[in-house]
Amino acid sequence: MPKNWSTALATLGAALGLLAVAAAPVQAAAPAAPAGPARQEAHLLKPRTQVGAQAVIGGALVNRGGPVQTAPQVYIDYWGWGSDPSGEQDYLNRFLSSVGTTPWLATVNQYGAGAAPVLAGTWSDPAAVPASPTDAQIQAEAASAANHFGTGTSVNVQIVVATPSGHSTAGFGSNWCAYHGAVAALPNVTYTDLPYMTDAGGNCGAGYVNGSNGALDGVSIVEGHELAEAITDPLLNAWIDAGGNEIGDKCAWVNLANLTTSAGTFAVQPLWSNSANGCVLATNNPNLLSAPTFEQNTTGWQRLVPAGGIVNWANYNTAAGAPAPAHDGTGYLAFNTNIGGGSVYQDAPANVGVGAVYQASVWLSSQSGGASGTFCLWGLGASNTNACTGYNVNSATGYQLLQVTYRVNQPISTLRFQVYPTVNGGTTDMDTAALVRVG
């Protein structure tokens, strides 16, 4: 809830004789939607006791032109924690380290955002925290945390300032449970004011899902709400409905339920889905790609090799020795080319009409030095259209998440997921690919 306060590789196998499809120019972005209503100075997640008869807030979220977080990186600043009577720190760490791969958070994909945030770091700042820190002090602490972590000023950065028991900004528990906004000193960085949730008891969700065993329910309900909103509306100018509500507001305190992740079970609220025109607890559309993580298997993947050229590729296993790490598991695919249009791709049957929306994502890196190229999702039919984005990755910084969203504007029969490395431009490493329908 926002608050707008003050290398080359040896050639493996024969080249496949496929019709070359050159990378088309990136399609122009759609015009920004008309500006929505002026944002309130304090747009808060109200305690459930203040909401009255909980009800879903209808109406689509509209993109107001601002950015979304395509590769969210969440950092928690435990400011001045001397004790943790309810055990919130471990619970919060487990939630944020595992929620990114769940169908629940995949709901944000339809808005062009990234659904795999990682808990990028935690810090126990020993500095004294005021009894009731002001928003300005929370923002200053967020800036200190960003400096401590060395985050830079990417819009993908979220700083969660978690204050200890007995030290919350005025109004916590009675007028609001948490909020997020942009750090004044670091305008692209999002911060969340997250007080010690159990101090507010049932007002902010304690026991709401799991009864007497759910003292920590509010921690994940409230932080999950803020997480999804900070991803889809980090600077308070992206996905908002006509009334100024964000993805979490529209479903606040309605139909709460447990979400099971690799790290445990956590209470969460539904999130608004434009595709479903309602609140959903999961967007569980299947990945349309075969062998998406390259665990010594390249089933479905092919090389497009224009006449006279070469596309080198290799499926590496880090457990057996490899020149670079995998993003996850032990397998990854590495490739390069010496000819324009040379690429690696996979086709998936689609047979859909106008209006369908698909999102493709992939993690890319380089074995040594840098690599660049273009990542596209094509709709193949009577004519071919695409959505593309450029990439420039480096072994020093590791894997980066790339995403493209493709809206079908004519009937298509096939979707093509395709990566074009720059000619003689380094070796691209690829892992963890996905193609899902999001609308």
CATH of the domain at 327: 2.60.120.260
- What's residue 11's pLDDT? 28
What is the bridge-based pairing of β-strands 412-421 and 370-381?
antiparallel
pTM: 0.61
Q: Rounded to an integer, what distance in angstroms lies between the CA atom of residue 247 and that of residue 5?
A: 20
Give residue 239's region: left, alpha or beta (phi > 0; psi -120 to 50).
beta
Shared-domain flag, residues 319 and 236: no
Domain for residue 6, yes or no?
A: no
Q: Rounded to an integer, what distance in angstroms lies between the CA atom of residue 218 and that of residue 198?
A: 7
Q: Rounded to an integer, what distance in angstroms lies between the CA atom of residue 237 and that of residue 39?
A: 9
Shared-domain flag, residues 216 and 78: yes
- What's residue 17's pLDDT? 22
Q: Which residues contact 321 (CB under 8 A, 6 or more apart)?
A: none
Reading the chain (439 residues) residue by residue, the pLDDT tens digits are 544 433 333 322 222 222 222 333 222 232 233 333 333 343 578 887 766 556 789 899 998 989 999 889 999 999 999 999 999 999 999 999 999 988 899 899 888 888 777 899 999 999 999 999 999 999 999 999 999 999 999 999 999 999 999 999 999 999 999 999 999 999 899 999 999 999 999 999 999 999 999 999 999 999 999 999 999 999 999 999 999 999 999 999 988 988 888 899 999 999 998 877 788 887 656 778 899 889 878 999 999 999 999 999 999 999 889 999 998 788 999 999 999 999 999 999 988 888 787 878 888 999 999 999 999 999 998 889 999 999 999 999 999 888 888 888 889 999 999 999 999 999 999 998 888 876 6
Task: Give the alpha-carbon dihedral of 222, 217, 115, 356, to 10 degrees.
Answer: -90
Domain for residue 43, yes or no?
A: no
Domain for residue 28, yes or no?
A: no
Angle (nearest 5°) at CA 280 between 274 and 286: 85
Shared-domain flag, residues 334 and 253: no
Domain for residue 104, yes or no?
A: yes
Shared-domain flag, residues 258 and 322: no
198: helix, coil or strand? helix
Shared-domain flag, residues 433 and 332: yes
Contact yes or no for 114/232 (Cβ under 8 A): no
Label residues 343-381 b or e (16+ Cβ within 10 Å = b).
bbbbbbebebeeebbbbbbbbbbbbeebbbbbbbbbbbb
- What's residue 42's pLDDT? 36
Shared-domain flag, residues 166 and 205: yes
225, containing H or E segment: helix 217-232
The total number of structural domains that make up the chain: 2
CATH label of the domain that carries residue 138: 3.40.390
Phi, psi of 268 (to 5 degrees): -145, 165
Shared-domain flag, residues 107 and 189: yes
Shared-domain flag, residues 233 and 141: yes
Count the helix, strand and coil residues of the chain and give each as a percent rounded to the nearest 5: 15, 35, 50
Given 222, 245, 280, the domain boundary residue is 280
- What's residue 26's pLDDT? 29
Shared-domain flag, residues 356 and 239: no
- What's residue 205's pLDDT? 95
Given 280, 311, 342, the domain boundary residue is 280
Domain for residue 52, yes or no?
A: no
Shared-domain flag, residues 127 and 207: yes
- What's residue 214's pLDDT? 96
Domain for residue 29, yes or no?
A: no
Shared-domain flag, residues 191 and 313: no
Domain for residue 215, yes or no?
A: yes
| Beta-bridge mates of residue 381 | 412
Contact yes or no for 143/182 (Cβ under 8 A): no
DSSP character for 318?
G
Residue length of the chain: 439
Domain for residue 333, yes or no?
A: yes
Shared-domain flag, residues 143 and 92: yes
Give the range of the structural domain holding residue 325, as residue numbers without chain letter.
302-437
